[in-house]
Amino acid sequence: MREQVVMNAEAIERHLKRMAREVLERARGGDLAIVGIRRGGVHLAKRLRFDLAQASGKEVPLGTLDIALYRDDLSERPNAPVVGPTDIQFSVTGKTIVLVDDVLYTGRTVRAALDELVDFGRPRRVLLVVLVDRGGRELPIAPDVVGAQLEVPEPEQVEVRLVEEGAGVDEVIVRTRGQA
């Protein structure tokens, strides 16, 4: 196993600040709310919310989605996946929802998240915001705001580590299966 750091703490912070500005441009004054996809998107969503408040002077509502109940591979898995908390305390109807995840890969998680989100109401728009787009899409899904675009071949893994989740430092790494 070999690990390569592709984004350090400073780069993550810089990307998020820029992404917050892009979200504001894209939202064009819409009524914003942020929803983080569990688990990787939750802490990024909190940070983005902070950066949005810094850039716009406005605090926007924050929610969390767990997509386990909406997965498309349940009947192929040996065990039912753990279902974490979904917590959306505001009405999504009419809002511009900023949907946040750490890594965009096949697009299946985003498909599930969109299905779950519309069960809470009818957002005016949904903006997909990801820190890393690693390519490899299996569904026609594209992000609106991206931190970094990387072409990572299939056997390798992209992992976003944040101090909020117990990491020593914030970093994004690409893990390659070693020859040993």
Angle value at C-alpha 153, between 70 and 108, nearest 5 degrees: 10
For 63, the enclosing helix (H) or strand (E) is: strand 62-65
Q: Indicate whether 1 belongs to the interface with another protein (CB under 8 A).
A: no
Tell me whether residue 70 or residue 105 sits nearer to another protein (CB atom): 70
Whose tokens are 């002077």? That residue is 57
Using CB under 8 A, pick the residue from 24, 36, 51, 70 that binds another protein: 70
How do strand 2-7 and strand 171-176 relate by DSSP bridges? Answer: antiparallel
Alpha-carbon distance 39 to 36, whole Å?
8
- 62 phi and psi angles, rounded to 5 deg: -125, 135
Site string for another protein, 121-160 (x = CB under 8 A): x---------------------------------------
Tell me whether residue 9 or residue 68 sits nearer to another protein (CB atom): 68
Alpha-carbon distance 144 to 158, whole Å?
20
Site string for another protein, 85-114 (x = CB under 8 A): xxx---------------------------
Alpha-carbon distance 15 to 27, whole Å?
18
Tell me whether residue 87 or residue 144 sits nearer to another protein (CB atom): 87
Using CB under 8 A, pick the residue from 2, 4, 39, 83 that binds another protein: 83
Query: Residues in the site for another protein, rule: CB under 8 A?
Result: 66, 68-70, 74-80, 82-87, 115-116, 119-121
